[in-house]
Structures are given as C-alpha cells and as structure tokens.
Amino acid sequence: MMPKKAKAAGSRKEEGPVPCKQMKVEAAGGPSALNFESPSSLFESLISPINTETFFKEFWEQKPLLIRRDDPALATYYGSLFKLTDLKSLCSQGMYYGRDVNVCRCVSGKKKVLNKDGKAHFLQLRKDFDQKRATIQFHQPQRFKDELWRIQEKLECYFGSLVGSNVYITPAGSQGLPPHYDDVEVFILQLEGEKHWRLYHPTVPLAREYSVEAEERLGRPVHEFTLKPGDLLYFPRGTIHQADTPVGLAHSTHVTISTYQNNSWGDFLLDTISGLVFDTAKEDVELRGGIPRQLLLQVESTAVATRRLSGFLRMLADRLEGSKELLSSDMKKDFIMHRLPPYSAGDGAELSTPGGKLPRLDSVVRLQFKDHIVLTVLPDQDQSDEAQEKMVYIYHSLKNRRETHMMGNEEETESHGLRFPLSHLDALKQIWNSSAISVKDLKLTTDEEKENLMSGTQHLWKKVSYRGCLRDGEKPELEGGKNSVFTWKD
C-alpha cells in the first residue's frame, strides 16, 4: 500500500473549466450501512459502488472521485456521526480553543482565526457561528464519537497508516478556509446540509506539506459541485480546494477523514536505509573507513566524495536486492504507538479472553488482534553501539489511549509490547503466518523455550508495558491480567 509514481490530477493542461458532469460520479445503491465485518469490507462499503481495484488503479493518488448517494438511510447514518448540537455536550466535558476547536472564517482569501483564550463554551461558539458567520472546526472527533472511532480504527487497519479526522460546521453564505492543499489523502463525508466545492489542478502533486494558494493563481476550477448528506468525496494530497455553504440553506457539517501523511516511498527509504547501512558497515571495511580530511568544511561536494557515495549506494542497492528482511527503524513503531486501540463497545469485554492458564505443548494457538501488532527486527537499544545485537520486537496498540489519538506530543507516548532474542524469529513468524499452530511444532530448540514463548505472549495484551529483555531460557516478568494475544485449545 505504499504510494506509487502516478500521473496526478493537474498534470494535463486544460482550456477552461471542466463541466461537473465530466467528473467521475457514481450513483450508489444497495446496502445503506457500512460493513464493519473486516477492514477491507468497511472500505469497500465506504466507497461503494466503486470497487477497490478500480479505486486504487484509477483514483488513488491520481484524481478526485465524487460518489453521490440518494439514500435516506445512509444520509441519516452519516448525520449521526456528528451534529452541530453535539458541541453543547462536548463543551461541557472541557474543550479548549486551539487544541480541540478552532473558530475561523475566510476573509479576502485569508484565514481569520476568531479563537478566544482557554475553554470553549457552547454559547460563545454559537454566537460566533450565528453572528460572525464563522466556521467551527472540531479536531479529532473520534476521541469522543464512538462511531468515528469504529470507522477510523478499521481504516487504520486497512491502510496500515494513521487516520485522523476533523469536523467542519459552516453557516449559510460563509466559507471557513481559503483555497489550499493538504499533505494527506482526503475522504469527505457530508453529514448535514450542503457544501459547494471547487477543486483545482495541483501545483505540487502528492504534496508533502500544507499550503495556502492565492486566489489570483487558481484559475478556473477543474471540478465544481455541491455535496449533500450521504455523499462522499475523495481527492489526493496536493489537490487545491475550497468550499462554502450556499446562501439561503441550512448550515453544513462535514467530516474530513485523512490518511497517508509522511507515508511515501521516500519516507520508507529514509526509515530503512539507516538499518541497512548499519548492517553493511559491520561486514564492509570500506564503509567503516574515514571520510577525507576537511570534507565537512567544504562549500560544495567534491568529485571524490560524490563518486564514493554513489558507489556505496549501488552496493547497498545490490545488498537490498538479495535481502528478505527490511529493517524499519521508526515508521512501524511510530504507527503502532500512535494509532487507535481496537474499537470496543460497552465495557470492552470482547478484548478479554477467558481463563488465565498458559498454553501447554499440546495446545493449539492462534494469533489475535493481528491488525494491531507489528513484528520487526531492530538493534537492541539497551546495549552500547559496540555490542548491539539484533532483537525481535513485537509492538501492539491495545493500551493506546483513544483520548489522545492524533493530538501530537500533548502527552508522552509509551510503546507497549515484548522483545525476544533473534533465535525466536522463525517461531514468531510461524505464529504470524498460521491460522492456528500447535505449540510443540514451533521452530525452537527446546520445549522450555516453547513454553517460555507462550508465557511471554500470554499477557501481551494486558494493558501493561514490558521492559525486560528475554534471553534464551528466561521467562519474562509479567504484570497481572489475563488477556492474551493468543486463543488456544488443548
């Protein structure tokens, strides 16, 4: 699911505006509710009637897609995700300007922020909304709205990337934001009222940063249309857009669901290259050789340095071609640390497994919550550089806090999981790749190692952190709880 080189919207020169009817528009029928059976079924139902193969072949990272839906039941469901009236109860929980909510309006092509200081009060928000025609932007509503949590958690499993959201509530005859483009893939769900949209060719296809575009540089819109409740709009990062609520209508509410920020091949290359260089330097004395004297003092790169670097890069490429193990230093860990925990209605009982006994050698085990686990091989961070050896790390997101999802570094984030000696890698891969496997069939040397592996993972999903380093023949220190990453039968 990594981005591909693609001809993005805006790479083709056009004369004048393209009529809205020429945009890809699908009329959806059939089921009116989203399908939460699996991450793939959720996404399929979200973009229905477009199938996923067509979506990723023709639209993803390439051009916008508008899906119109004349489905009262779906419109009602969308409307339940977030309403203007929800702000009253949310403000009573302690919402703050800037962190949770922004009040803004587009004036002469520029964003005017109307935030107050401190806590946001519903009566003041409503006053600015009614009298100043201001847009209310609510940040990351999945922190409070269960159904958005449910949707976004499934989408994070589907994309393997963080999925955030913002709600925009705009009064009639007003516009909240100036023309701009974003650094994320965008899915817009119209919840209440109607919103008039104008899309323009990107000046920076697949942009890596947010930027406002001046009105005089825009030209005519490539696509222009009005979203109604139940409609869905997708457009790639870099697509210039602006939206307003038509005069004479009720207010508009839409939610913008976004993903794939800093999730490009370039980001992945930066993430993996350090581990590749580290491993290669252990075996290749040339990479351990010193750079020329005063190289760091040069204003421009020297021909000698350029040739050497080019040679090293070719050598690394050759090494990578023959490797099956891709080291991911930070992206895997960052994703699993900051993503949503599994959706759980009520008291979260579905995350628990009955009983507290350990699997035996004759038990058959199955991995649970696979979409919320990453397995990676990294140098042991607790050893000095000279003595570092590779360890198998298993990180999980069961203990992640929904309340801080996508809120930046507001609070220190802690990683949760286990680490094992490299000798356990094959056994862990067996469990990962099997629908069910007998403990006695695990590729470990002794029965004690197999039992220790089970005791280590038995409590992985209890909401605690693990600090100890497991060595061959050692058992991990466990902190309470009877939740399990495995289910098993004897």
4 in any annotated domain: no
CATH assignment at residue 396: 3.90.930.40
CATH assignment at residue 218: 2.60.120.650
| pLDDT for 362 | 87
| pLDDT for 459 | 40
Residue pLDDT, tens place only, 17-33: 334 434 555 554 444 47
E-only strand ranges, 356-402: 364-367, 373-379, 390-396
**Cα distance between residue 147 and residue 347, in whole Å:** 15
* Phi, psi (degrees; rounded to nearest 5) at 243: -145, 145
* Together in a domain, 178 and 274: no
Contacts for 373-377: CB closer than 8 Å, 24+ residues apart? 373/336, 373/397, 373/417, 373/485, 374/332, 374/333, 374/335, 374/336, 375/428, 375/429, 375/432, 376/327, 376/328, 376/332, 376/333, 377/325, 377/327, 377/422, 377/425
* Together in a domain, 83 and 139: yes
**Cα distance between residue 295 and residue 129, in whole Å:** 59
Quick one: pLDDT band at residue 13, thresholds 50, 70, 90? very low
* Together in a domain, 76 and 134: yes
Q: Residue 444: which domain range?
A: 330-345+354-404+415-463
* Phi, psi (degrees; rounded to nearest 5) at 304: -65, -45
Residue pLDDT, tens place only, 402-448: 999 999 865 556 678 788 888 999 999 998 998 888 999 999 999 98
Q: How many domains does the chain have?
A: 3
* Together in a domain, 248 and 279: no
Which residue, among 441, 440, 434, 481, has the nearest Cα to 457 in the 3D structure? 481
Q: Point out the least confidently predicted range of 186-195, 214-223, 342-351, 423-432.
A: 342-351
Report the predicted TM-score, pTM, of the whole model to 2 decimal places. Answer: 0.85
**Cα distance between residue 473 and residue 386, in whole Å:** 25
6 in any annotated domain: no
5 in any annotated domain: no
Residue pLDDT, tens place only, 143-173: 999 999 999 999 999 999 999 999 999 999 9
